[in-house]
Amino acid sequence: MNAKQLKVIAIVLGVAVLLTLPRLFRGSGEEGTLDVGDGFSFAVTDSIAGVDIVLADGAGTVRLARTDAGWTVDGYVADEPKIRDLLDVIGQLSSSELVARNPSNHAGLGVAEGGRRIEVRTAGGEVRRFHLGDRDTRSGGYFVRLPADDVVYRLDGPAGGYLNRERDGWRPRLIASVDTAAVREVLMRRGDREAVLRRSDEGWLAGDAPADSALVQRLLSVLPSVSASGFPTAEEEAAADFTLPDGWVEVFSEGSADVTGRQLELSILLLEDEERGDWVARLADGAEAFRLSSLTVDRLLPEALVPSPDGEPGSG
């Protein structure tokens, strides 16, 4: 056998290996075919009324629901931009990236019956489902399977990441946004100490004395984006008693809302959680509690601006 014949044989063997490798690594069925059929297709044509994210191993369900007042997650106000992002993609999901055919692979890919399941409810009462498995660490997509089909596909795009959020990941972190240019007065209480900040033509006053401008600017820097650091558990929220808060802050702008000629822009009630080192908070006119970091509270209620009962500045 001469060199030319050996070269031809090597080429033929190389082509055969290249054709076989995808079947070894991607085709898990006994027939070893790469035919993806119709692929993974999940389409919802009716208006979506809700999405249930059924967690693996019976760990509960995250329920997204459309209400007359807007979207909620497990009864809490949901982050509308995140909901819009989900609705933009979940009504038309598809993939031809076949991963496995054999049901014995379902558990390893996270798409077995006890894994995470997505249920989309429509305004017409229809419920459509698919299994959402683990993330493919090599490609970044997620493994998916329709309930009546053993075939597993890889779903690329943002939908898998959205649907792997837990409940708190669907709640808005932005609690309030205040235009600081319009702020004229801030009332604050921390423990048994109170203070009043007022904007005058000469600058900010703490009572009748000039306020520490650096501390005032730190306070004002928080107001355009008062954001939660997290959320208490349902048990912690139920136990939070805001009738006697450890602190509060009220922010006013000029306005005609009452006889004082001022408009209430923000009112936050605060309970210190010494064990966790942060604060549980609630808007005075709100119903849902959230957590604020100690850094945020120290800016909203700077102890150096809040005199003690004997008239001395706070220790902060």
Domain boundaries, the chain: 26-170, 174-305
Are the CB atoms for 53 and 62 separated by under 8 Å?
A: yes
Q: Which residue has the tokens 């708190």?
A: 168
Q: How far apart are CA 225 and CA 180, in angstroms?
A: 11
Strand, helix or coil for residue 296 = helix
- pLDDT score of 253 more than 50: yes
State the Cα–Cα distance between residues 207 and 309, nearest whole angstrom. Answer: 14
| pLDDT tens-digit map of 55-98 | 999 899 999 999 999 999 999 999 999 999 999 999 999 999 99
> Which tokens belong to 56?
């693996």
pLDDT at 87: 96
Q: How many CA atoms lie within 13 A of 217 on its CB side?
A: 4
Q: What is the pLDDT of residue 32?
A: 36
Residues 175-192: tens digit of each pLDDT: 999 999 999 999 999 988
pLDDT at 17: 45
Please, what is the average pLDDT of the chain? 87
The pTM for the full model equals: 0.80
pLDDT classification of 248: cutoffs 50, 70, 90: very high
> What's the confidence (pLDDT) of residue 208?
86
In the block, tokens 């299994």 appear at 131
The pair of three-digit structure tokens given for residue 164, joined into one six-digit string: 């792997």
Q: How confident is the model at residue 134 (pLDDT cuts 50, 70, 90)?
A: very high
Residues 6+ apart with CB under 8 A from 70: 77, 78, 80
List pLDDT tens digits, range 20-60: 444 444 443 333 334 456 799 999 989 999 999 999 998 99
